[in-house]
């Protein structure tokens, strides 16, 4: 799967470890399919204060491309 430059930058800026992003995609706690052609992979990361990592993948591009990743504070409030 390809990665956008934005995704690579956000991994550094937001201190997201590559294996966390890979875990989110390979074994998510849940997924969301959006009308804009993206799939959101959501995974709780125990090693990072149990925060929820959201990895967004453009599933319409060939090959699929990881667009961005971030710790979703909205999910923290809901849990």
Burial (Cβ within 10 Å: 0-12, 13-18, ≥19) of residue 73: exposed
Residue 63 lies inside a defined structural domain of this protein: yes
Confidence class for position 1, pLDDT limits 50, 70, 90: confident
pLDDT digits (tens, 9 = 90+) for 7-38: 999 999 999 999 999 999 999 999 999 999 99
Residue 36 lies inside a defined structural domain of this protein: yes
**Which residues are CB-neighbours of 1 under 8 A, at least 6 positions away?**
25, 57, 63, 64, 65, 66
pLDDT digits (tens, 9 = 90+) for 67-77: 999 999 888 65
- When divided into structural domains, the chain yields a total of 1
Confidence class for position 78, pLDDT limits 50, 70, 90: low
Residue 66 lies inside a defined structural domain of this protein: yes
Residue 10 lies inside a defined structural domain of this protein: yes
Range of the domain at 35: 2-73
Residue 79 lies inside a defined structural domain of this protein: no
Q: What number of CA atoms fall less than 13 Å from residue 41's CA on the CB side? A: 20
């Amino acid at each position: 799967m390809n990665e956008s430059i934005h995704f690579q930058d956000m991994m550094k800026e937001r201190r997201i470890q590559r294996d966390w992003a890979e875990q989110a995609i390979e074994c998510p706690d849940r997924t969301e399919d959006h009308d804009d052609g993206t799939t959101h992979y959501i995974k709780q990361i125990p090693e990072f204060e149990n925060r929820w990592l959201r990895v967004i993948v453009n599933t319409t591009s060939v090959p699929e491309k990881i667009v961005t990743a971030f710790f979703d504070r909205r999910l923290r409030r809901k849990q």
